[in-house]
Structure 1
Amino acid sequence: MSAEFDLVIIGAGAAGVGAARRLAGENFSVLALEAAPRVGGRVFTTQIKDMHLDFGAEWLHSAARNPWTDMAGRLGFALDRRRANWWMQYKNLGFSVEEQAAAGAAYAAWSEALAGAPGDCAAKVLAPESAWSGYIRAIAGYVSGAELEAMSARDYAAYDEASTSDNWRIFEGFGALTAAAWPEKIPLRLATAVTSVTLPPGGVALSTRAGRIFARTVVCTVSTDVLAGVSIRWPREFAPWREAAAHLPLGRNEKLFFEILDDRCFEADTHLIGDPRDPATAAYDIRPFGRPVIECFLGGASALAMERDGPASAFSNALDALVRLFGADVRRALRPLVATHWGRDPRIGGAYSYALPGCAGSREKLARPFEDRFFFAGEATDPRDFTAAHGAYASGWRAAEEALAALARRR
């Protein structure tokens, strides 16, 4: 494969979809390259036993202003607009009403204090005497995938301030919507990883195992882990962007799914947290959409533990937690079904980005284009909706517009 294009998109995740949809009506030659054998990146729906399971991003956050909401309607996907049940503790099991109020107040106080965190470190405003420090760490782990000591307080607060309380789901799965949103007008080569990038005069040269491609402009949507890593050989001119990416590492978030063999033990569309005092606790979404499954969400410490000890250990810990809450009978009612492994996927390397202390400004640095030929996108480059698929989509759209302007100037 050897060809020339006006614009090449690297990556067909949510940001790649955003770029492709912006370019679909333009009169330029465009090609998209994706290392994986599918569209979606960190947004992936699989079907197991007639159930649509979202392995990655699942929720349309800030749904009223989320571009995926309108996309779902236009493409005929059914939305669940009910209020997210994240803050529910089913039957108050292991977490009394009074304790829930106290934990919520402690989290709110910590969030309010982030703006004045010494050294921009989210851990520095965690009250050491608080009985709910484990709860705060667990919730922050679900949101960012990181430990508080490694997290920029300013960055965490910026996302929290921008987000809204309307969070919806898609019955067929977010990953299914993302795959369906790829525009037919944009050619896409799956399972075609870029192995090196060079900067010949007038454009960008991309090496793949299938051949060499020359592009006048490139929209790059790879994760910060890939940009900062060694799986692609990057030109030395990209050192400032790779440094910015290193300051925005990917957190760790994973999911476990139990198959429910006896659904009499569990009520549909309920939710609870395992041990609200344990920073490594999982959160449990029980029978979402009435399906016979429990989705266990791991964030930060718990996801890292699974990466270290393996899924069998994680399933065992999760089942023990459910037994403590529901009783011994649930052991016979549940069977491990499947686990994700985002942290071990070399094409991605984790969940979504968080900023190291003092590095919130790296998002703006990463979003800057290189000259008039290489444009960076991805959730990590969005100023307010980072960590979210709608931020990724918006960044792809933005980078495509920048590339189009550059091509117009050349003409």
Structure 2
Amino acid sequence: MTDLPKASNPLPSQVDVVVIGAGAAGIAAARRLMRPGLSMIVLEARDRIGGRAFTQGFEGQGLDMGCGWLHSADDNVLTAQVEAQGLTLDQTPPPWRTQAFDHEMTPADQAAFGQAFADFDQRVTEAADLFRAGQGQDRPASDFFDPDSRWNARMDAISGALNGARFAEVSSLDYDAYGDTGMNWRVREGYGRLIARLGQAVSSITVTDCAVRRIDRSGPLLRLETNRGELTARIVVLTTPNSLIASEVVRIDPPVPALLEATAGVPLGLASKVHMTVRCAGDFQPDTQLWTRTDTAQTGGYHLRPFGRPMIEAYFGADLAWGLEAQGPEALFDFAISELVSALGSEMRRRLEPAAVSGWGVDPWSRGAYSHALPGHAADRATLRVAVEDRIFLAGEATAPVYYGTAHGAWMEGERAAASALAALGFAPDRDVDERAS
């Protein structure tokens, strides 16, 4: 891999294009923008590339701390890149619709729960169709719960995993707009490693440990203030998470009120992971799923033996994840142990050891995991796609109209923003990108 420019190297005083952020969207944008005669630099606040796609090494394996699934794999622009980058595409189906050991749920219960969730989704879709026909409102998705259903708490726990927020905080229209082909695959070595390898193509123009603090748009050129100095550019592709724009950690000056309102309307929810090793793993079937409780949304999902490894991957979402992260990594591990002990017996306490814990909510460069639109704010994703003065272009999973919350959605949006930037610079259109974005 080509070494990234050292943090001690000076920044150029002026370039044609600055891409802010070297996650999936930033890497995709930079790859698309590379043209003879076009000067460009990618500025990344972290000391690594990949953003919320990050694979942590552990005993020769790769543990995905952020995105881990190639969602809608049969329509995912990154699926074909896995083997092309020398990695392994694993097509084992996800275990999400199963319940290991039939814990607290008989097969009949599991079927009843699946039907209850399908009925809920259908009510949301019917309401969204009415809204698009000019009737009704964009309401909280929780409004479409059956108030007499015993499964509402379980569905809200799953919303924490799907949306990073409970259904009361999720726009029904936006939730219905999500695209899902039902095909979900993985990268055995890690999804984060795939994004990092794709980033090698722009490593020579990527500078890490370089946080952009302000984009001054008052002059004929955009002036960027960073922790390493200043530079000017004709075009900026801004791929930082919405949370950093809404809080003005990355400030556009003069401010753009419509943009700030839209970033606030599509905030980042939170999903947190705890990877644990487990002794005597043969007691568990590979790639099975356990939800420990049905009576509360304050519970986690547990992927048993992912890839057949002697491990358990815990997943916590929404307010549960925010609260645990605020207490520190040990709290996440302790909560996972307490739930697994309660579900599977006291011996689990001796069998589990922490391997890695994510912390996207407390990470200063993400402040959350992935976006959801608040009720009444589904249209804000489209607002985020509108360029500022045809020279500041936003991109990321939050701007994706269909595949939001995913790495490939961010990738497609990076390409879309790059195509718009090239058009603003007078380059011929990228037809393939235009077709994918339409």
TM-score computed with the length of structure 1 as normaliser: 0.95
Instruction: Give the one of 37, 53, 56 matched to 1:46.
Output: 56
Cα distance in 2 for residues equivalent to 1:328 and 1:248? 42
| 1:248 lines up with 2:258 in the alignment | no
Q: Which residue number in structure 2 is paired with residue 168 of structure 1?
A: 185
- Whether 1:24 aligns to 2:43 is no
Indicate yes or no: 2:308 matched with 1:298: no
1:275 Cα offset (Å) = 1.2
Q: Is the 8 A contact 2:140 2:168 kept in 1?
A: yes
CA apart distance, 1:321? 2.0
- 8 Å CA contact 1:51, 1:291 repeated in 2: no
Shift of 1:2: 4.2
Aligned counterpart in structure 2 of residue 120 of structure 1, from 125, 135, 139: 139
Partner in structure 1 of residue 356 of structure 2: 338
Q: Which one-letter code corresponds to 1:404 in the other structure?
A: L
Query: Contact conserved, 1:3 with 1:214, CA < 8 A, in 2?
Result: yes
What does the per-residue CA deviation read over 1:65-114, in whole Å, with 9 as the maximum and x for residues that have no partner? Answer: 11110111221211101211111212212221111111111111111111
Q: Which amino acid aligns with 1:143?
A: L
Aligned mate of 2:405, from 373, 382, 387:
387
Q: Secondary structure at the match of 1:140?
A: helix
The residue that corresponds to 1:135 in the other structure is: 154
For 1:167-316, list aligned pairs within 5 A.
167-185=184-202, 187-316=205-334
Does the alignment pair 1:329 with 2:339?
no
- The number of residues matched between the two structures is 408
Aligned-residue CA RMSD in angstroms? 1.7
One-letter identity of the residue aligned with 1:322: L
* Alpha-carbon separation, structure 1, partners of 2:408 and 2:216: 30
Tell me which residue corresponds to 1:60.
70
Structure 2 residue matching 1:344: 3-state secondary structure: coil
Q: Does 1:87 align with 2:97?
A: yes
Q: Which amino acid aligns with 1:284?
A: Y
Where structure 1 has 5 or more consecutive residues not aligned to the other structure, the ranges are none
Contact 1:379-1:389 within 8 A present in 2 as well: yes
Q: Which amino acid aligns with 2:160?
A: G
Once the two structures are superposed, residues 196-255 of structure 1 have per-residue CA deviations (whole angstroms, 9 ceiling, x without a partner) of 110143321111121111111111001010010132232134221111001000001000
CA contact (8 A) 2:31 2:201 kept: no
Distance in 1 (CA, whole Å) between partners of 2:92 and 2:46 is 33
Runs of 4+ with deviation above 6 angstroms: none
Shift of 1:137: 0.3
Assess, with a 3 A threshold, how the Cα gap between structure 1 residues 319 and 409 changes in structure 2: closer, same or farther: closer
Letter in 1 for 2:225: S
Deviation per CA, 1:311-347: give whole Å up to 9, x if none.
3333233222222332222222112232111001111
Distance 1:319 1:256 in 2: 10
> Residue in 1 aligned with 2:110?
100
1:343 match: secondary structure: coil
How far the C-alpha of 1:183 sits from its partner, in A, is 4.4
2:327 corresponds to 1:317: no
Q: Give the letter for the 1:376 counterpart.
A: L
- Are 1:353 and 2:371 an aligned pair? yes
Q: Is the 8 A contact 2:325 2:332 kept in 1?
A: no
Structure 2 letter corresponding to 1:198 = D
Contact 1:2–1:211 (Cα < 8 Å) also in 2: no
- 392-401 or 260-269: which moved more? 260-269
TM-score, normalised by the number of residues in structure 2: 0.89
Alignment partner of 1:184: what SS?
A: helix
SS of aligned partner of 1:31: strand
Aligned 8 A contact 1:254 1:340 in 2: yes
Contact (CA 8 Å) 2:273, 2:313: kept in 1 or not? yes
How far is 1:307 from its partner?
Answer: 2.5
Which deviates the most, 172-181 or 148-157?
Answer: 148-157
Question: What amino acid is aligned across from residue 391 of structure 2 in structure 1?
Answer: R
Q: What amino acid is aligned across from residue 157 of structure 1 in structure 2?
A: D
Structure 1 SS opposite 2:373:
coil
- The CA distance in 1 between the partners of 2:356 and 2:397, in whole Å, is 26
Q: Deviations over 1:257-290 (max 9, x none)?
A: 2221332333322222121332121111112112
How far has the Cα of 1:26 moved from its partner?
4.7
Query: C-alpha distance in 1, partners of 2:36/2:66?
Result: 31
- Superposed CA deviations along residues 124-144 of structure 1, whole A, max 9, x for unmatched, are 111222100111101111100
Q: Residue in 1 aligned with 2:172?
A: 153
Aligned to 2:5: none
- Larger deviation: 125-134 or 266-275? 266-275
Tell me, in whole angstroms, the C-alpha distance in 1 between the residues paired with 2:295 and 2:160.
13
Distance verdict in 2 for CA 1:110–1:395, change over 3 Å: same
User: Which residue is equivalent to 1:13?
Assistant: 23
The answer on 1:76 being equivalent to 2:93 is no
SS of equivalent residue, structure 1 residue 8: strand
Shift of 1:194: 0.4
Deviates more, 1:354-363 or 1:111-120: 111-120
Amino acid of the residue matched to residue 287 of structure 2?
A: D
